Amino acid sequence: MDWFIDCITKNYVNFSGRARRKEYWMYTLFNCIICFVVMLLDGALGLNYILSLIYLLGILLPSLAVTVRRLHDTGKSGWWLLLQFVPFGSLILFIFCLIDSTPGTNQYGENPKGF
């Protein structure tokens, strides 16, 4: 949960630097869990997904920021995020988020693993 909270509080719109795999995937895991709970609340209260929309709008910038930082960790520019708008681009982004970070320092900063 600390990874999720750090992305929301410390790195809300931080698009610079690097995010290791653990930070990205723990953020994604807790985001999915919270999204599921919010959707259940919407359904139980009959709010027609109003709470879900508010949550998704609030989480949009931190999600983009952590994904860009994850791409930076693999040595790719954040502009690769636009790949999700082409067919099968989301699959390629998924693979980019799975691969290990570039060792040592790259153009986006120090390796967060701290080799």
Question: pLDDT of the chain along its 115 residues, tens only?
Answer: 888 888 888 888 999 999 999 999 999 999 999 999 999 999 999 888 899 999 999 999 999 999 999 999 999 999 999 999 999 999 999 999 999 998 888 999 998 887 5
Residue 23 structural domain: 2-98
Q: Does the residue 105 lie in any domain? A: no
Token pair 């320092």 in the structure block, residue: 105
Q: What is the pTM of this model?
A: 0.90
Structural domain count, the chain: 1
**26 found inside a domain:** yes
CA distance 42 to 36: 10
Element (H, E) at 53: helix 50-73
89-97's contacts with Cβ under 8 Å and 24+ in sequence apart are 93/67, 96/70, 96/71, 97/21, 97/24, 97/25, 97/67, 97/70, 97/71
